[in-house]
Amino acid sequence: MVNEEILQRIQQNNDRGEEIIKFIQKELPLLQKAAAKVKQEKLTNEIKEKNLQLKKELEFWKNRVIELETMTGIKQYPLPSDTTKVNSVPKDPEANAPATVAPESAPKAAPTPKSEAQQNAPKKESSQVKESAAPKKEKAPKPAKQDKQPAEENKEVNVSRLDLRIGRILNAKKHPDAESLYVEEIDVGEEKPRTVVSGLVKFVPLEDMQNRLVVVLCNLKPAKMRGITSEAMVMCASTPEKVEILTPPPGSAPGDRVICDQFPGEPDALLNPKKKIFEQVAPDLKTDGDCNATYKSAPLKVADKGVIKSTTLTNVQIK
């Protein structure tokens, strides 16, 4: 009796096992499809995330190109917005005005013969005019400009040519025509604050831009960036993923000059875009392993106050 019960249980267990095997065989393709779908979704999300990162990097480098082009004097033209009408009315109302035909002039009267005295009179007058105009052409050229240009051309190209100063952002707001740009009013120790356009929207929150001390490059040629003239550039430690505004040492004040003891000299009044002074100096502007701002490994500082620093970025480019 006991043996028969055991046999029945064994048989029942075998039947259940076969049912489970059949169920697994039936559900296995579905499980494989589900696993493949999950893997595909994960891969898709990874690709989307990489695309988003690439877009951020592209936007970053696009803004850097715009800034560098404006520094070299290349004029920027904003792209037309979606609201621009194709068939807009031209600004010049005379552009579409019908052409007017000039009325035919009356036939000219035949010239009357001039006497010999009348013919010689204009020649005397013209000769007198030439004689009176001759002294005006003999003005000596201004020697100051001629002496100044060779002096600037002979100066060594290094960081001392850059007019780097401490500035305080008095007000910052978003550019009305460019989502990635801020417009700041910065006190650099002059009578009036300077207007500066910076591509920092994606890296620095607007509230962190207000009333802070910054390092400003002040002798760039002013240039329009999306319709607003930028009169300087805020210096930052930069990577494609992260940008940090350089921090002046404690006690710094607007107008303090940033210097490098190893490269003394006076800055140019205005960097000549054709000479590409900044482009030659910029590759050697970097942070070191201690977040100090340097030029050719020599620290940038404010005299008697301390060294310029980044917050966390080490061994990266400054621009």
Answer yes or no: are the C-beta atoms of 317 and 238 closer than 8 Å.
yes
Residue 123 placed within a domain: no
Q: How confident is the model at residue 10, as a pLDDT?
A: 80
58-97 pLDDT tens trace: 888 777 777 777 766 677 666 655 444 444 444 444 444 4
Q: How confident is the model at residue 91, as a pLDDT?
A: 45
152-168 pLDDT tens trace: 567 889 999 999 999 99
Residue 199: give the domain boundaries.
Answer: 159-318
Q: How confident is the model at residue 18, as a pLDDT?
A: 80
- Distance between CA atoms of residues 113 and 53, nearest Å: 87
Closest to 172 (Cα-Cα) out of 160, 158, 187, 161: 187
Q: How confident is the model at residue 190, as a pLDDT?
A: 94
Residue 53 placed within a domain: no
Residue 101 placed within a domain: no
Residue 32 placed within a domain: no
Quote the tokens at residue 229: 């003239």
Three-state DSSP state, 104: coil
- Whole-structure pTM value: 0.56
CATH number at residue 185: 2.40.50.140
Residue 310 placed within a domain: yes
Q: How confident is the model at residue 301, as a pLDDT?
A: 95
Distance, C-alpha 227 to centroid of its chain: 13
Residue 22 placed within a domain: no
Q: How confident is the model at residue 49, as a pLDDT?
A: 85
The sheet carrying 298-299 orders its strands as: 243-245, 236-238, 317-318, 285-287, 293-295, 298-299
Q: How confident is the model at residue 237, as a pLDDT?
A: 95
**Domain count across the chain:** 1
- Distance between CA atoms of residues 294 and 166, nearest Å: 16
Residue 24 placed within a domain: no
Residue 209 placed within a domain: yes
With a cut of 50, list the residues of the chain below it in pLDDT: 82-113, 115-117, 120-125, 127, 129-132, 143-147
